[in-house]
Amino acid sequence: MSFVVGLTGGIGSGKSAAAAEFGRLGAAVVDTDAIAHELTEAGGGAIPEIRRVFGPAAIEASGAMDRGKMRARVFADPLAKKALEALLHPLIREESQRRIAAARAPYVIHVVPLLVESPDYRRRVDRVLVIDAPEALQVERVRSRSGLSEAEVRAIVAAQATRAQRLAAADDVIENRGTIEALREQVAALHRKYLEYSQAAQ
């Protein structure tokens, strides 16, 4: 069984950039957001159930889930949010477990945005790595890449665990408030540490 590091952080903290760097250094990356996208794109495994539960309006002409519509719907309706999570989460967990089991790298970086909020995922990882950034920087990053308003981004941030909650759950922390080079240096140091841990765990 692989040594598994759960990588988490708030929206706009830099999870994807950190995960990509771990992957470049040789870790296997299993990203729950990427799996969710695959399940909800045209032909994805979750599409028939999404159509059944939420109706044809939830599906774009392309056959993919209409992300904009569903985002607005689950933000406005807690029951719709629960229904979508109940549908997607078991599929995401099952596929992430399959990919972790199949990994042949020295260790796995398991990217789970809601790791701190999900005890089930917390039990599946050997260590928790938090990518941390100040909230103002998170908002700025998400606005520049997504076109969402500041109020929309802050609503997403408010719906997630707080920085303090994430940091309290962390075994390791990457401070991502500067350059990509600074991020890479921190990833490289942790990569060396995780290689040692994975060898010790064998």
Q: Are residues 91 and 160 in the same domain?
A: no
Number of domains composing the chain: 2
CB of 92 within 8 A of CB of 36?
yes
Calculate what percentage of the chain has a pLDDT beyond 70: 100
User: Tens of pLDDT along 171-184?
Assistant: 999 999 989 999 99
The predicted structure's pLDDT at residue 5: 98
Q: Are residues 8 and 50 in the same domain?
A: no
Q: Are residues 164 and 83 in the same domain?
A: no
Q: Which of 104, 121, 138 is the endpoint of a domain?
A: 104
Calculate what percentage of the chain has a pLDDT beyond 90: 71
Q: Are residues 128 and 199 in the same domain?
A: yes
Quote the Cα angle for 39-45-49, to 5°.
105
Q: Are residues 131 and 77 in the same domain?
A: no
Range of the domain at 96: 36-104
Sheet with 3-8: list strands edge to edge.
Answer: 28-31, 107-111, 3-8, 127-132, 172-175
User: Distance between CA 24 and CA 101 in Å, rounded?
Assistant: 20
Categorize the per-residue pLDDT at 50 as very low, low, confident or very high, splitting at 50, 70 and 90. Answer: very high
Beta-strand relationship, 172-175 and 127-132: parallel
User: Tens of pLDDT along 102-113?
Assistant: 999 999 999 999
User: Tens of pLDDT along 82-101?
Assistant: 999 999 999 999 999 999 99
Classified as helix, coil or strand, 131 is strand
CATH number of domain containing 21: 3.40.50.300
Q: Are residues 9 and 75 in the same domain?
A: no
Torsional sign, CA 176, 179, 183, 185: negative
User: Distance between CA 59 and CA 66 in Å, rounded?
Assistant: 5
Whether this model's pTM surpasses 0.85: yes
Q: How many helices (H) and strands (E) does the chain have?
A: 10, 5
Burial of 21 (0-12, 13-18, 19+ CB in 10 A): buried
The predicted structure's pLDDT at residue 95: 95
Burial of 149 (0-12, 13-18, 19+ CB in 10 A): exposed
User: Tens of pLDDT along 52-64?
Assistant: 999 999 999 999 9
Q: Are residues 99 and 112 in the same domain?
A: no
Q: Are residues 94 and 155 in the same domain?
A: no
Token reading at 159: 């719906």
Q: Phi and psi (nearest 5°) for 49? A: -70, -35
Q: Are residues 111 and 152 in the same domain?
A: yes
Q: Which of 44, 78, 104 is the endpoint of a domain?
A: 104
Q: Which of 87, 104, 121 is the endpoint of a domain?
A: 104
CB of 50 within 8 A of CB of 85?
no
Is pLDDT at 1 greater than 80 in this prediction? no
Q: Are residues 181 and 153 in the same domain?
A: yes
User: Distance between CA 197 and CA 102 in Å, rounded?
Assistant: 19
